[in-house]
């Protein structure tokens, strides 16, 4: 009989810190996720189709095109590999091909870290669950600075796909009673504390899904942006 995967205490995500003195945005404190209004601008498909993608597996069968990285190189490794927290990023050679997306990221007015396009191949619920995890967004991030969170902008239209989100139970494992599903229609935007919430994308489609993912450092300016842009 097939058994459904579920993380245990041995899962690497359980070791990632949940609590710290970092500044947190109040808008994310309750649920760990805020849905934003759909993008009021369109992005030409050349801004993700003409980029250079790297083979990098995270959350399924994925490839990533970095728009900003720790040192401006086309590199998907964690910023900590270069001795820095996930902020203060430098645009890569891909950025010149994606002006709408880069302008969008800088217009937020917050310190950003990795900025990448994810290309995710289709995966059903059962397959996706095997990749559910929490992110290590705040490694090397000084505790008197802002907590790093992530924002999404969906570039392709996948209305039958969703980001599966779950908060932690008392043992630090995903709590099914807190499950949320964020639909991934074109233009959908949301901010997630991905170090807190377990997450993975279920992609019910025949073609890849593309989205812009940006790490932002929490600050009062980021909070204002989230409040102004939220639904
Ligand atoms: Fe993640």
Query: What was the pLDDT predicted at 3?
Result: 65
Distance 131 CA to ligand 1 centre (A): 9
Residues of the chain with pLDDT under 70: 1-3
Distance 183 CA to ligand 1 centre (A): 17
- Asked whether residue 8 is assigned to any structural domain, the reply reads no
133-188 confidence digits (pLDDT tens): 999 999 999 999 999 999 999 999 999 999 999 999 999 999 999 999 999 999 99
- Asked whether residue 48 is assigned to any structural domain, the reply reads yes
**Which residue range forms the structural domain that includes residue 206?**
22-229
- CATH number for the domain harbouring residue 89: 2.60.120.330
- Asked whether residue 16 is assigned to any structural domain, the reply reads no
Distance 58 CA to ligand 1 centre (A): 7
Please count the structural domains in the chain.
1
Distance 59 CA to ligand 1 centre (A): 7
Query: What was the pLDDT predicted at 2?
Result: 57
Distance 226 CA to ligand 1 centre (A): 20
Distance 193 CA to ligand 1 centre (A): 10
- Asked whether residue 6 is assigned to any structural domain, the reply reads no
- Asked whether residue 5 is assigned to any structural domain, the reply reads no
Distance 109 CA to ligand 1 centre (A): 23
d(CA 209, CA 123): 10
- Asked whether residue 195 is assigned to any structural domain, the reply reads yes
Distance 70 CA to ligand 1 centre (A): 18
- Asked whether residue 218 is assigned to any structural domain, the reply reads yes
Distance 133 CA to ligand 1 centre (A): 6
- Asked whether residue 38 is assigned to any structural domain, the reply reads yes
Distance 2 CA to ligand 1 centre (A): 26
């Amino acid at each position: 009989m097939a058994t459904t995967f579920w993380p245990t205490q041995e899962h690497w995500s359980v070791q990632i810190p949940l609590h710290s003195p970092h500044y947190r945005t109040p808008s994310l404190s309750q649920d760990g996720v805020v849905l934003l209004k759909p993008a009021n601008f369109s992005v030409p498909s050349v801004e993700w189709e003409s980029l250079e993608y790297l083979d990098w597996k995270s959350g399924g069968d994925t490839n990533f095109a970095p728009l900003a990285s720790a040192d401006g190189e086309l590199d998907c490794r964690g910023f900590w590999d270069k001795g820095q927290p996930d902020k203060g990023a430098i645009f890569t050679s891909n950025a010149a091909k994606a002006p709408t997306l880069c302008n969008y990221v800088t217009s937020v007015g917050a310190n950003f870290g990795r900025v990448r396009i994810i290309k995710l191949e289709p995966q059903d619920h059962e397959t996706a669950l095997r990749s559910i995890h929490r992110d290590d967004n705040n490694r090397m991030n000084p505790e008197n600075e802002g907590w790093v969170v992530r924002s999404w902008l969906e570039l392709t239209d996948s209305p039958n796909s969703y980001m599966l989100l779950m908060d932690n139970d008392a043992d630090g494992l995903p709590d099914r009673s807190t499950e949320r599903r964020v639909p991934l229609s074109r233009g959908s935007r949301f901010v997630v504390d991905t170090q807190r919430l377990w997450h993975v994308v279920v992609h019910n489609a025949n073609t890849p899904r593309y989205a812009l993912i940006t790490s932002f450092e929490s600050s009062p300016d980021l909070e204002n942006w989230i409040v102004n842009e939220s639904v």
